Copies of this chain bind each other. A is one copy, B any other.
Amino acid sequence: MITVPFKNKGTFLYVEIYEFIKQEITAGNIKYGEKLPSKRSLANHLAVSVNTVDTAYSQLVAEGYIEAIAKKGFYICEIDSYFLAEKKVAANNKNFPINSELINIDFSPNAIDQRIFPYEPFRKIFKSTFNEYDVSLLNKPDIQGDLGLRKALVELLYRSRGVRCHENQIIIGSGTDHLLQILDLIWGRNKAIILENPVYLKAFHIFEKMGNPVISVDIDEKGIQIEPLKNYSDGAVYVTPSHQFPLGISMPIDRRIKLLNYANREEAIYIIEDDYDSEFRYNEKPLPSLQSIDKNGKVIYIGTFSKSIAPSIRISYMVLPEILLKTYLATADEISSPVSSLEQKMIAAFISEGMFEKHVNKMRKVYKEKRIVLMNALKQWGGGVKITGENAGHHLLVQLDNGLTEEAMYRRAMAQGVRVYPVSPYFINGVPERYKSMVLLGYASLTDQEIFDGIGILKKVWSL
């Protein structure tokens, strides 16, 4: 007869019975085929209610340790003994620390000024958005994205970028990466992806990982070169015309038209226009997007809120030409949308209530001032410095001709707690001579003082 050593340490009696019998079976003390005492007799033996034993037994049945055979009783099931593989397994408590050097001044090109984030507007919007009357807040998000957000974007993109589209052409993604993955699903692995070189590295990694043939075409002072493209008649050309990343070139109208004409002549060629920071142009009004010039449905327009609101907002958008839209609807629809419904609705309200444009204007003003501070600070450096890409975005580039290598520039700066961003990692097959000793300086997240101090430190360590 089974004698359960009740410890009554707060656990239910039935749990103790269940655990005890389970151990006995696992340990092999009760063997396959053996019969358990009837519920009643075990209950009497343990001086517990029959119900208690019944609960314990049914848990054991549910987990497959014992089976109930009608009119006969409860029998132990056949259970293999667990096989422990020889190979050592590392302990569970190791840490995998993220590389975190001590940086005092970080000229990151990807940061924003967190001091001007519109907390109060978002609090208001949450209140009005998050309510019992909108059950769609709880439903799985629409695969293509919240309709309200797509409608708001149709207006916004037309006003700000001249983009003409219908809400059905818009796909909301959880970041540019995600949208590129969707394009990959639409096209399949055989579509060649032609990247401008240097390039936004994530685009390169995604397509490489996806297994597409990835081709890189060098840019010149006007952006991606057209002649090399003409070797390809089936593929997608990924470009950043408003503000080439990382070099900051804005593609002049002539090159834009040449690029479009190339796509117009090749049925199977599409252009991916990544307009990642077009909101931030300081001297003139933003350049019209490729999509706004395109009349043949050749341009896939991609934008994001990472720069214009915050990198934590995992919402980006893509305008698909109708021809691709049909393939999208046919292929991508089995995969759920990763984008939070709540945030989609909050951003939709943020835009349609006019707060977004107000916020972007404010940010542009702030960044424009920071940029002036940076440009003035750079005057301390005197000659031997080439400054480029300063007309837009959140960063500019500086290039030295005093023989200091890019790596030396990086190391000497880091040694003083100043982080700069070398340009070479953005080149797919090594950095050409004319881009040597060049680094990115982002200024969006820094204070005027930090910019001034940082440039001062760089002057010293780079001996300018």
A residues apposed to B, CB below 8 Å: 55, 58-59, 62-65, 77-85, 87, 89-90, 92-96, 110, 112, 114, 117, 119, 122-123, 126, 130-132, 135-141, 164-166, 168-169, 174-175, 177-178, 181, 185, 189, 201-202, 205-206, 209, 211, 222, 250-258, 260-261, 264-265, 267, 283-285, 287-288, 293, 295-298, 306, 310-314, 321-323, 325, 329, 331, 334-343, 391
Whether B123 lies near A135 (C-beta < 8 A) is: no
Within 8 Å by CB of A202, from B84, B334, B339, lies B334
A294 vs B101: C-alpha distance in the bound complex, in angstroms? 37
Q: List 12 A-B contacts (CB under 8 A).
A: A55-B284, A59-B285, A78-B254, A82-B260, A93-B166, A95-B168, A96-B329, A137-B312, A139-B311, A174-B339, A202-B335, A211-B211
Cα-based distance from A383 to B188 in the complex (angstroms):
50
**Distance in Å: Cβ of A250 to nearest Cβ of chain B:** 7
A256: chain B residues at CB < 8 Å are 64
List B contacts of A287 (CB < 8 A).
62-63
* Nearest-CB residue, chain B, relative to A293: B82
In the complex, which residues of chain B have a beta carbon less than 8 angstroms from the beta carbon of A139? 310-312
Q: Are A261 and B80 in contact (CB under 8 A)?
A: yes
In the complex, what residue of chain B is closest to A263 when comparing beta carbons?
B85
Contact of A119 among B58, B80, B130 (CB under 8 A): B130
Chain B hits for A258, CB < 8 A = 80
Give Cα distance in the complex from A201 to B334, angstroms. 9
Copies in the complex: 2
Q: Which residues of B contact A55 (CB under 8 A)?
A: 284
Question: Would A126 and B135 count as touching, CB distance under 8 A?
Answer: no
Q: Are B340 and A312 in contact (CB under 8 A)?
A: yes
Question: Other than the known A87-B296, A117-B132, A312-B341, what 19 A-B pairs have Cβ atoms closer than 8 Å?
Answer: A80-B258, A83-B261, A83-B265, A89-B321, A89-B323, A94-B168, A122-B130, A123-B130, A126-B126, A138-B310, A140-B306, A174-B314, A174-B339, A177-B335, A205-B335, A206-B335, A211-B211, A314-B336, A340-B340
Chain B residues whose C-beta falls within 8 Å of the C-beta of A391 in the assembled complex: 62
Give bound CA distance, A267 to B87, whole Å: 9
With A139-B311, A261-B83 already in contact, the answer to whether A89 and B322 are too (CB < 8 A) is yes
